[in-house]
Structure 1
Amino acid sequence: MMPMFHAGAAFADLAYTAGGCSIRVVRDYDQAAGMTECCAVATVLAPEDHRRALRSDPGNLASAGRPVIGSAVKVVSRDGVELPAGAVGEVLVHGEQLMSGYWGLDDATRTTLVDGWLHTGDAGHLDEEGFLFISDRVKDMIISGGENIYPREIEDVLFGIDGIADAAVVGVPSDKWGESPVAVVVASPDSVITDDDVLAHCRAHLARFKAPVDVLFVDVLPRNAVGKVLKRELRAPFWDGRARSVN
């Protein structure tokens, strides 16, 4: 049987039997996560991890796996202190496979490679067994009233609403809180969903400070060539005329 390999974002769920895919295929399924700066792969969710998830631990399907041989992963706070299991911070990677630097970009190299650790720019946490879970991009994090808000958590709630085809969350200026989350939503064809519907659902499923303060309906979300939402384009109109795009 041919092994299956997936590199990229972790699956929140997998329909293993869809499209004629036998459940047996999962026995040889590898899911890898990484980035160019660490020669592509830093962590792997191995076949045995998938089998275990199918048996008793489906939550692990959302994991990026554990470090590959020769690599180490840790999660640190904004001031560089290593965080315990379960705490969200920036994901750092260490290993012989790391790049030596960016060609001709010394400043970027110094901020990305610090004491042998690669700052990935990803926010996430490790569990007690060393499985890595990615929450969001650090640069997309919203700081509201001193609290860290990761847009992906809100987006997961938005995708659970009937009538929403696509969604993204960005931080906008707030005189009171510094920043507040706003949902940018693409409604499904023929949907009659309203902003009140969206806000009520979010308030029922999120802590109050994480719930969006407003909803903006658009026809389509801007994406790059590989399909990632261009959040800087969504943020830009809200921050226009300000010296910087954070408060």
Structure 2
Amino acid sequence: MESSAYNPVIQYLCSHGQTGKAEILFRQLLKKGVEDPLAFNNLICGHAKEGTPDSAFEILRIMGRKGIPRDANAYRLLIESYLRKGEPADAKTALDSMIEDGHLPDSSVFRFVEALLMRGHEEEALGRIDLLLSSQCNVNFDNLLSILSEKGKTIAALKLLDFGLQRDCDIDFKSYDKVLDALLAAGKTLNAYSILCKIMEKAGVTSWKSYEDLIKSLNQEGNTKQADILSRMIKGDDKSHENKKGKKKASVAA
């Protein structure tokens, strides 16, 4: 049977929520020796969109055993399907398989992360970033932090920066400043204080120019304890902070 006879049927079924029927048809064709990459990939995409990623992954395994090329878009949809179901471990397995197959996550994956952050879905976005990092994919934290700060998405920027600091990700000092400026401008002084303490703990004193403005705002809002702690940290009177900062510098030099 020519592919032009069955592929339109399979594609139609997969595009209209009937991937199970499409798979029954295609398995009949498999028994007759048909091994069509387009049909395989349509089945994967259909299962992924319908929320049955395990069925999609089984199709991927069959393709692997038969040496049939697997499409990068099919992998991307499969990964997203697993993440929507709250199964990050399976999503990572799919991503690892994607990379082993010679496909790297394209810009659409990163745009999706950015869109989630902009819409306030921080935990979903961070889950995807964690998935990318665990698979040794580069994530441009500086670009994301810059966009979020400029757009006034201060909580998303705060959570992303906190995430990056916890995992010792490569983040430029200028990105710290942008997030701190955005938080201070939005009146989120306690948030700014909290993340600044974490920055100083991890990386030492930053080049941020608005320390005094933050201290002033903290005092005006009645957060005098935080203002005093920050003041002592900046002046170098906090010996434990100074020692940790020295260790950080030593490790960087090493």
* TM-score, reference length from structure 1: 0.26
Q: Which has the higher contact order (CA 8 A, sep 6+)?
A: 1
Mark the structure with the bigger radius of gyration.
2
The structure in which a higher percent of residues are helix is 2
